[in-house]
Structure formats: C-alpha cells, structure tokens
Amino acid sequence: MMVTTSQEELIRDNMALVGHMVRETLFKVPPHVHRDDLASAGYAALVTAAQAFDPGRGIPFGRFAAVRVRGALLDELRGMDWASRSVRARARRADVAREELTRRLGRTPTAEELAELLGVAVGELATIDDDVQRAAVLSLQGFTVGSAEDMVTETALNPEEMLLHRERLGYLHDAVTVLPERLRFVVEASFLRERPLSEVAEQLGVTESRVSQLRTEALALLRDGLNTHMEQRLSPVAKDGCVARRRAAYAAQIAESSTMASRLAATDAQGQLLAA
C-alpha cells in the first residue's frame, strides 16, 4: 500500500514519538535488547498507523499512533523471549538462596557457597547468573523484574504522573551515584554503557562470574535503597545484621545526597534523561 503525501507528513512529524518510546523502553530492558530492533518495529507501526488513520474519528494522530507503536514494541519484546518462565524461576531460586546465605553468613556469599546450596557446579552457576541478569530489569514501577507489558509505558502522562516519573528517574540516578565505587562502575559499564561482562571483568581484573556477582549485589542495594525512599519500605533483613547496617548506611547516603532539585535535574520536562 502506497503512502500518500499527507500520510508521509504524519510519519515525518511523529518520528520523534517513536524515538521517545524506544528510549523509554531501552532504559528498562536488559542490555542485549538492541535499539535498532525496537526502532524498526516502532517505525513500521508508525507507517501502518498513518495508513490506517481516520481524522474523522476525532482522535489526535499522536495518541492513535502511540497505541500502535506501543503494541509493536510489546510484540517485539515478547518475540525476543528475554524473560521466559524458566529464567524467572531460576532467578527466584537464586535470589532465595542468596538471601538465605546472606542472612546466615552476615555477608555476601561466595560463588562456591551459593553453588553448593543450589546443588550446581560453579561453572553452571555463572551461566545461571548470566541468564538471571538478562532478566533482571529495574522496573521504574517497583525496581523489580517485570513483564514485557511493564517495560513499555504509556506516553500520555498527566503533569502529576510526569513529575512522579521524573522523580523516580532522579532517585535512580542519585542512587547509582552513591553506590560503592566498584559497584557503581559495574552498573554504569554493564547497564548504561552496555559493555560486555568480559570487558568489565578484564578492566577490573576479575572473572566474569565475579562481575555478575557484583552486579547482583549492586541491584540488591539499589532495590532496597530506592524502596526505602520511594515506598517507605524497610529491608526484610534483620536490623542487627552487618548486611542490614550496610544497606541502612547506603539508604542514608541516598537521603543525604538526593533532593527534589537534584532528582528533577536528572531529566528534562518530558522525562528524558539528560547527559551527565
């Protein structure tokens, strides 16, 4: 089906909408999800939306197209199967085992200790950790693993919703900033710069399994710290444990360094992250 001149104008004028939705999605999905794959699906949906658009219905094209693009991005994520049920089950089992050992030992368990509790070889544990990390998504709604539907947000936010969205992003920005240096490096390199674990491990002079362990530790700190401030929810770890004290100290650092002004300064009025 050919594109008319008016449809071509609609497509050209709304290409930024696709870019915005793709960027929002990329912020919430694992590093192996590529921008080009999502953008291709989004732009294809924009074209079909322009071809199907009927101005006589009284619906603005931007809103009409956003629904189509969102559906296309969801379909693309589902097709990638990046967070299958088996991966989620392994993630839950690994998390439970890690939490149990952390409470028992009062520290982060070693790969050998975790592998023994799970009944797997250390080499297999590294594979499990890698799969888990691919599915470990920092959902801005709760900073937990989410479904594909959770990853693609609605674009028509009212002012109050946009303010809350920007504050969440700001909290995340501030929380990453005050992570211990080694953990911050791992998070920024693997999630923000999308560098392979092998490169991160080489620069730190450790194994990929250790980098995966550090990343898991960083995500746990981020979740606890953000939940403490965003949801006023305490960590489930006993208050007198050294791990609990470390998490409490980290939450206090977030409180000291994060203000409403700093949180909103991390994004523009449309909720887009600003360059550091």
Tell me the three state secondary structure of residue 108. coil
Contact yes or no for 124/140 (Cβ under 8 A): no
pLDDT at 16: 87
The alpha helices in the chain, defined as continuous H runs, are 5-13, 15-26, 35-52, 61-80, 85-105, 111-118, 122-135, 148-151, 159-177, 181-187, 197-204, 208-230, 242-257, 260-265
What are the pLDDT digits (tens) for 108-164?
A: 888 888 888 877 777 776 666 665 555 544 333 333 344 554 545 555 555 666 667
| Helices 159-177, 208-230: crossing angle, 10 deg rounding | 130
pLDDT at 233: 40
Model confidence, pTM = 0.45
Compare 143 and 28 and report the one with higher pLDDT: 28
Alpha-carbon gap, residue 42 to 66, rounded angstroms = 9
Q: Which of 214, 208, 145, 205 is nearest to 184 (CA)?
A: 214
Percent of the chain with pLDDT over 70: 69
pLDDT bucket at 181, cuts 50 / 70 / 90:
very high
By the 10 Å C-beta count (0-12 exposed, 13-18 middle, 19+ buried), 239 is classed as: exposed
pLDDT bucket at 182, cuts 50 / 70 / 90:
very high
Alpha-carbon gap, residue 119 to 184, rounded angstroms = 31
Alpha-carbon gap, residue 138 to 120, rounded angstroms = 27
Alpha-carbon gap, residue 154 to 63, rounded angstroms = 10
Alpha-carbon gap, residue 179 to 222, rounded angstroms = 8
Instruction: Give yes or no for residue 17 having a pLDDT over 80.
Output: yes
Residue 231: how many other CB atoms lie within 10 Å: 10
Alpha-carbon gap, residue 58 to 65, rounded angstroms = 14
Contact yes or no for 190/32 (Cβ under 8 A): no
Alpha-carbon gap, residue 20 to 254, rounded angstroms = 28
Contact yes or no for 195/32 (Cβ under 8 A): no
Tell me the three state secondary structure of residue 267. strand
Mean pLDDT of 62-72: 88
Instruction: Give yes or no for residue 49 having a pLDDT over 80.
Output: yes
Contact yes or no for 212/189 (Cβ under 8 A): no
- Kindly write down the DSSP assignment for every residue of 220-241, as one continuous string: HHHHHHHHHHHS----SS-TTS
pLDDT at 146: 46
